[in-house]
Amino acid sequence: MKWALPILLLAVTACDQSPAVTFTDVSITLPEDKGAFPDRPGRQAMIANCAGCHSPSMILTQPRLSEEHWKSTIKKMREVYKAPINPADEPDILAYLTSGEAAAQ
């Protein structure tokens, strides 16, 4: 267990006679996401378009941002991440994103 000792003044420490490492199988179960979009106008459009890839908290933790910023976010979701966002839902999505806790402060 030589390697576990404090390492003085050295960024790199050689571990001679290092114990052979054993890689085991590891499996985890990720917790369920209980987060949800709070109810306000546009919520249905958010559920339909913005809930598939990440938790609502990705969106709900954002600070107050301009409508222009949110338009570019929607564009990025669609063009870079290939999100199937319904163009007809965009006004509702924007209304939702520019209202709410951070936006109201």
Partner 1 sequence: MLSRRALIASGVVGAAALPALAERFADLALPGGPSARPLGPIFPQKGEMIVQRVHPPLLETPFDVFDTGVITPNDRFFVRWSGGVMPTSIEAKAHRLTVRGAVKQPVALTLDEVAGAGETIEVMAVNQCAGNGRGLQEPRVGGAQWAHGAMGNARWRGVRLRDVLDKARVSSNAKRVRLAGLDTPMIDGAPQFIKSLPIDVARRDDVIVAWGMNGDMLPLLNGYPLRLIVPGWFATYWVKMLSDIEILDTDVDDSYFMAKTYRMPAIPVAPGDKDFPTVPISSMPPRSWITSHAQGARVARGRPIELRGIAMGGDAGVARVEVLAGGKAIPATLGRDEGTLGFRRWTLSLPPIARELVIGARCTNANGVTQPDVQAWNPSGYARNVVERIMLVPA
Residues between 30 and 69 that touch partner 1 (CB under 8 A): 30-35, 52-55, 57-58, 60-65, 69
Residues 72-91 that bind ligand HEC (CB under 6 A): 73-74, 76-77, 81-83, 85
- Tokens 């052979």 correspond to what residue? 20
Return the residues of window 35-54 that contact ligand HEC according to CB under 6 A.
49-50, 52-54
Separation CA 52–CA 33 (nearest Å): 12
Q: Is 98 left (phi over 0), alpha (psi -120 to 50) or beta?
A: alpha
- 11, amino acid identity: A
Q: Which spans of this chain sit near ligand HEC (rule: CB under 6 A)?
A: 49-50, 52-54, 58-59, 62, 73-74, 76-77, 81-83, 85, 93
